[in-house]
Amino acid sequence: MTQSKSHQRLKEFGEDEMSKTLVDLRKELESSREARAQAEREIASKEEELAELRKMLAQTQLEQDALRMELGRIRQSRSFRLSARLSRAYASSSLLQWALRGRVGFELVDRLTSGAGARSARKRGAGRNAARYMDAEVIAKIRETGLFDDAFYSEKYLGSIKNKEDLIADCLEVFPQEIRDPGPLFSAEHYLRIHPDVSSSGMHPLIHYAVFGMFEGREAFSANKVRDFLSSMEECKYNPIEDVVSSGKAINILYAPNGNFFFRDIAEYTKTFLSEKGYEARVLVAPRREPGEQECLNLVVAPHEYMVIGPGKNWSAEQCASAIYLNTEQWQTPWFAKCFSYMAQTTTGVLDINPNSAAGLCRLGIKAAFLPIVPIPGSCFVQDKEMVSKALTRAKYVKNLSYSDDIRGRDYDILFVGVVNERRERVISELSINISKFENFIHCPRFNRPISDGDVDMLSNKDLTQIAKNAKILLNIHRDDVGYFEWHRIFLYGVMNGCVVVSEPCFSNSFIKSDIHYIEATVPDMAGVLDDLLGTELGLVRLNEISLRNLELAKNIKSGERLVW
């Protein structure tokens, strides 16, 4: 009996130990699984980081190529070659050193700086005679820029004009004692301030820009001047598209393959738009002409990319002059500065995705037409309902979208999409307390490079359309104080999806109006406006009225009824 009890206890002890051992083994196995899962997650994370680093490296190499090309252009520019030649000549010639210290030298400098008269006017009081040193070619180049406005100059400097027969000469002769603006867009003082080398050279800023700076891609237009100039284009007088894009020729629509993905979309859209009008158009990276085919027209989308980092950097002067350019940029930006010389010298014309900008180019004497981005059937910008991409759901949490017919039932209260900069950061920060009360979809990446397919911070046209269809308000904060009407943001993604745009004041145009198709509010008033629209019944009624009006407009465009473009 005793032996049997001992055996039983021993057996129970063994089973307990086995149970404990089994439990411990199971814990170790679970721990190993967790460790393996964690290791796999870390490997996946490292692979993503490695992919991002590779992408950044590739982009850095592109940027370095662009900088090398820009440096090459500067070194090949007439102003650089002239200054280098003068420096070498000065260092090796005692005669020239002596001459540059005397009257003969000052006359020579005057001639080389196209008669600015900066030094001679101070030394000899000969500003009134500076016109004899002005080359007719230089005067012609100033005229070609469109920046000298006779009516503006005559009105602004009425009573102090001495040379009424040649107003450009009059403007140049008074420099440097008086710095006058040649027209409503170009500020001579602004150009001297942002380009100290021009200021120290003694050359008149308008001469420098017309002869050198424009072709070197130098910035020239201040935000204040751009705002005043383009906001005066409310009537939006521009050429019809048929005046710019002549019929009878095949059209190569060109975009930079290493540029922003959005410009490839615009290239595809332009093909659809022109094909609807009966043109034979195709989207390419480089110009092409089929055997037996007549000469083609080259239409360059986003010339600030195509002509700087794309195939256009190798074009001849004749190719550059005969191309059509499709401008996508705001005038106060460095990107516009890089493409303005091409648009100013084209013998064919320019298309622009902003009506005020197209009218402004016409005001400068450039043949320009407005290309409206609308959701025409068959285009890449058609605003159809479809599933959001897996790339978006991996990068962001996206609510289950309901596509409510009533704006009050939409899933998101506020949608904001925009590349972040200092100003937008400040404004969003000021509004954060108010907008945090609502359901929001905020997408504001920071980019210093073109946005390519597969970029983790890219938000495609199709994905943005789905979010806009499920948002009550699309918040628009300008990149700066200019008030540029961003057509694709306000019209395409907001108005066409019934998502009511609440924007800082914009340039007005004849197609859609504030308080009818969208709502304007200054930054100080923005928080209160958002609270009223989303937090009161009257505000929601107002949102719904605008939304229904815009959806009816979108329906008419989709059915083939066009606005008068």
Q: What is the pLDDT along the chain (565 residues), one digit of tens a residue?
A: 555 655 665 566 566 677 777 777 777 787 777 778 777 777 877 776 776 676 666 556 556 655 655 565 565 555 565 555 555 554 555 544 444 443 333 343 344 443 333 333 333 333 333 443 357 888 899 999 999 999 999 999 998 888 888 899 999 999 999 999 999 999 999 999 999 999 998 899 999 999 999 999 999 999 999 999 999 887 778 999 999 998 888 999 999 998 888 999 999 999 999 999 999 999 999 988 777 677 899 999 999 999 999 999 999 999 999 999 999 999 999 999 999 999 999 999 999 999 999 999 999 999 999 999 999 888 999 999 999 999 899 888 999 999 998 999 999 999 999 988 999 999 999 999 999 999 999 998 887 777 777 777 788 999 999 999 999 999 999 999 999 999 999 999 999 999 999 999 999 988 999 999 999 999 999 999 999 999 999 999 999 999 999 999 999 888 776 665 5
Count of residues making up the chain: 565
From edge to edge, which strands make up the β-sheet containing 297-301?
281-284, 251-254, 297-301, 324-327, 349-352, 368-370
Instruction: Please enumerate in sequence order all residues whose Cβ is within 8 A of that of 509, keeping only pairs 6 or more positions apart, or say none.
Output: 234, 236, 355, 356, 485
* Of residues 496, 427, 428, the one with CA closest to residue 461: 496
176: preceding bond cis by omega (within 30 degrees): yes
Q: Where in the chain is the domain with CATH 3.40.50.2000?
A: 390-558
The whole-number pLDDT of residue 55 equals 60
Calculate the alpha carbon distances from 509 to 546, 554, 565 in Å: 18, 18, 11
- 152 CB burial (10 A radius; 0-12, 13-18, 19+): middle
CATH code assigned to 241-370: 3.40.50
The whole-number pLDDT of residue 129 equals 36
Per DSSP, 364 falls in state T
Residue 155: CB atoms within 10 Å: 9
**The domain made up of 390-558 is a member of CATH 3.40.50.2000:** yes
Instruction: Give the CA-trace dihedral at 243, 563, 471, 542, to 10 degrees.
Output: 140
Calculate the alpha carbon distances from 351 to 235, 374, 500 in Å: 17, 15, 28
* Of residues 138, 151, 154, 267, the one with CA closest to residue 206: 138
Residue 180: CB atoms within 10 Å: 18
Return d(Cα 273, Cα 296) in angstroms, integer.
Answer: 18
Return d(Cα 535, Cα 555) in angstroms, integer.
Answer: 29
Are the beta carbons of 235 and 510 closer than 8 angstroms?
yes
Helix (H, G, I), strand (E, B) or coil at 519: strand
Q: Mark residue 454 as left, alpha or beta (left: phi above 0; alpha: psi -120 to 50; beta: remaining).
A: left
Please name the amino acid found at residue 217: G
- 272 CB burial (10 A radius; 0-12, 13-18, 19+): middle
Helix (H, G, I), strand (E, B) or coil at 166: coil
Residue with tokens 């998502």: 499
Decide the pairing of beta strands 519-520 and 500-503: parallel
Start-to-end CA distance of the chain, whole Å, equals: 108
Helix (H, G, I), strand (E, B) or coil at 518: strand
The alpha-carbon radius of gyration of the chain (Å, integer) is 32
Query: What are the two backbone dihedrals, phi and then psi, of residue 373, each rounded to the nearest 5 degrees?
Result: -90, 110
Return d(Cα 474, Cα 472) in angstroms, integer.
Answer: 7
Residue 525: CB atoms within 10 Å: 11
Q: What is the pTM of this model?
A: 0.76
Calculate the alpha carbon distances from 490 to 354, 388, 408, 444, 506 in Å: 11, 21, 20, 16, 10
